[in-house]
Every structure is written in C-alpha cells, then in structure tokens.
Structure 1
Amino acid sequence: MASEITYAEVNFKNGSKSSGTNSASPAAPKERTTPHKSNPGFPKLLYPSLLILFLLLAISFCIAFIEKVWSCCPKNWRSFSSKCYFISTEAKSWHENEEDCSRMGAHLLVINTKDEQDFITQNLNERFAYFVGLSDPEGQRRWQWVDQTPYKESATFWHKGEPSDPKERCVMMNIRYSNWGWNDIRCDSLQMSVCEMMKIYL
C-alpha cells in the first residue's frame, strides 16, 4: 500500500514571511511607532529663555516699584515730582541762606517750570519774601542758577518791570497784587528762602 502524504494548510496570522509582493507592509507599523523629532534642541532652549525673560521682567517691576514707593524727603521737607523743598523760617542774606541749604545737602531753589513755581508759591506765606537760587554775580545782568542750570528767559516769572536795578544781584519771590513773581534785590538784604534737593531713594 502506497504511502500517502497529507498536506495541511497552515495560515500564519502575522502574514507571509516570503519575499512576495507584500514584503514592505510589515515595516509600516514600525515607521508609525517611531517618535517624530523635528528639533530636539528646541525645548532645551525654550525653558531657559523663558526663565531669563521672567527674571528680567521681575527685576524691572521691582525697580519701578522701589522708585515709586521708596522715594522720600527728609522730615519737614515738602515733596513735588522728584524733588524735596524746605521753606526757611528765619530771615538771612542770600549767601547765608545758600550756606544753610548747603549744610543740609541742598541748594537754594531752582525753578524750571510753571508747575514747580505754582507748587512752591502755594506753600509760601504771603507776608514774606523768599530768596531763590538765582543771582547776577558780576552785575552784568547775566543771571545764573546755583546748580548751573541754564537760565532761560522763556521759563522766568519776573514781576512787571523786573529786574530793575543792576546793583540788585540776587532774586527773591514775593507777592504783588495777589500774584507771586520774581524781583531782583540786594544780596545782603534779609529774607526767608527755599532750599531744594533731589528725593532720597532707598
């Protein structure tokens, strides 16, 4: 009796391993599972950059906060903008008043704007006159501020008809007809004064 060979058909779930027409299909899942890396260095640079930006913003905020909150004037001085002002209560000559201001780390008042002039005059006693830091040392009508600020005719507040006398080489503020203004006067006359200094920043 002849031997019979029985062939069984075996089906492989993973597909054929032969080098047939579908040989490329097994590689497809491997490609899909490979992570996509377009720029591996980007996250490493992003976080330090954001951290530096945050720190710079925090520092800027702190500086602005400190300048706004922790600027101050000495006791009995008045504050306006970035400056402090002290109004004297004792009449002295222009030079004596300037020396008193200097001892306090300040100088006689220098007026740069109408707002500053208005602020100062609102705090003065109408019964008195007050020296400011403007003078004509050589009597040539060449006015000079004590802090070397340039003298500008466009930012002056002379009373009508002033300055009037070359022998009067110092300047004071007083009131005429309900208006405060500047008047030239002898430097050895005795008047009150206003001292000025920059605000103290802590």
Structure 2
Amino acid sequence: MKTVVVLSVLLCAAIAEMEAELKNDEEESVPEDSVPVPRNGPVFEEAEAPESRFNFCPDGWYSHNSRCFTVVNTATDWYTAEEHCTSLGAHLASATSAREYAFLQEITKRVDLSSAWLGGFRLQSRWMWIDGQGFYYQKWYSQASSSSYACTYLNTGYGWSNYPCTSARRFICSKNPFSC
C-alpha cells in the first residue's frame, strides 16, 4: 500500500512539473491568433492546433493554456451548474485574461450559444471566481445591482454581465487535467 501511495505522489509531482514545462513552452511558441482544437472533436477550418500536440484533456473538452474547458448545453441555475462541473472534477470557468475570455466566447459560439454561466460571483461586496483564480481581469459589458444579481455570465458578442443566480442558463466548466 505504501508503494502505491509513494508512486501516486511521484506521478503527481512529475505531471505537475510537465505541466509547468508545457505552459512555458506554450507561452513561448503559441502565436497570439491561434485557436486550440478539442481532442477528437469537430475540426473547424479556421482553427489551428499548435497546442494539440500535448493535449491531455478528456474527449469533448477544449484545451487552452494548460486547462480544459467544456460547454454544457443544458440550462440550469448557477448553483446546479457548479455542482455539475464539480461532478466532472471541474468548476464553472473563470476568465483571467482577454485572450482566455475571447477563447471562451469562441467555444460558446461553436455550439450556437450567445451566453453561458461563468464562475464569477459576488460575496461580501467582492467579486471572485469559484475556482479560486484572482478576479483581476474584468470584462464587464454591464453590471446590474450585485446584491440581487450575484453571478456572472459570458456574452459571445461583448463582455460579461451579472444576473440572478437562480436563472437558468447553459454553462462552461473548466479543470486542470493534471490535478491529482
């Protein structure tokens, strides 16, 4: 049993090191205008796949900046959406940069949606991401009263907005393929 635990820890450490190396390689070699393609997913002519050579995402998930994303085409409230993402080993997606937000808009458009829940929420007068990422990048198109509109959703044509968490909307899940 001890051998299995030790091997698991070593495997996780090796994978984490590989992830760091891949991220550094991606930052140096991936052109700004590239569009990642999902593994075993539909191929779009305009997409290039420089990141796909090291794609560790499950089937049906899109790879981008060492994270995996999937759009869930079932409308539900924000809380149920987060529960569903958690059941997949993920969280509702965060958007931590302009490039990442543009990527999320693109994958949402590819499944013919114009909006989707993100993992942003307001707690004690502060916006945060459910996955623990820092809420430093902001792409607000409109911001309604955060006391009654405490959850964020993405718009494919412009920035994000906030809306009541109990409203039904499709959503985007995100996870790290290397977490143990």
**What TM-score, normalized by structure 2, do the two folds share?**
0.65
Q: What are the ranges of 5 or more consecutive residues in structure 1 without an aligned counterpart?
A: 1-62
| Residue in structure 2 matched with residue 102 of structure 1 by the alignment | 86
The structure 1 residue matched to 2:138, chosen from 148, 153, 156, is 156
Structure 1 position 144, deviation (Å): 1.3
Q: Map Cα deviations across residues 31-79 of structure 1 (whole Å, 9 max, x no partner).
A: xxxxxxxxxxxxxxxxxxxxxxxxxxxxxxxx69x96855410111011
Q: What does residue 194 of structure 1 align with? A: 172
CA contact (8 A) 2:79 2:165 kept: yes
Tell me whether 1:147 sits opposite 2:131 in the alignment: yes
Match of 2:75 in 1: 91
CA distance in 1, matches of 2:139, 2:87: 28
Identity of aligned residues (%): 23
Displacement of 1:165 in angstroms is: 1.3
1:59-117, Cα deviation, whole Å (9 max, x unpaired):
xxxx69x9685541011101112011010110000000000000000000011111111
Contact 1:94/1:188 (<8 A) preserved? yes
Q: Quick one: distance in 1 between partners of 2:138 and 2:177?
A: 24
| 1:127–1:76 CA distance, 2 compared to 1 (3 A) | closer
Amino acid at match of 1:130: A
Contact 1:110–1:133 under 8 Å retained in 2 = yes
1:131 aligns to what?
A: 117
**1:127 CA displacement:** 4.2
Q: How far is 1:196 from its partner?
A: 0.3
In structure 2, do the counterparts of structure 1 residues 105 and 168 end up closer, same or farther at CA, with 3 Å as the change threshold?
A: same
Q: 2:96·2:134 contact (CA, 8 Å) conserved in 1?
A: no
Asked if the contact 2:93–2:118 (Cα under 8 Å) also holds between the matched residues in 1, the reply is yes
**Conservation of the 8 A alpha-carbon contact between 1:106 and 1:197:** yes
Query: 1:129 & 1:156 partners in 2: Cα distance?
Result: 17
Cα distance in 1, alignment partners of residues 87 and 105 from structure 2: 24
Kept in 2: contact 1:128–1:191 (CA 8 A): no
Give the corresponding residue for 1:165: 145
Amino acid at match of 1:101: C
Q: Which residue of 2 aligns with 1:180?
A: 158
Cα RMSD between the aligned structures? 2.3
CA contact (8 A) 1:88 1:194 kept: yes
Q: Aligned letter for 2:127?
A: W
- The higher radius of gyration belongs to 1
- Residue 122 of structure 1 corresponds to 106
- Judge conservation of contact 2:139–2:160 (CA < 8 Å) in 1: yes
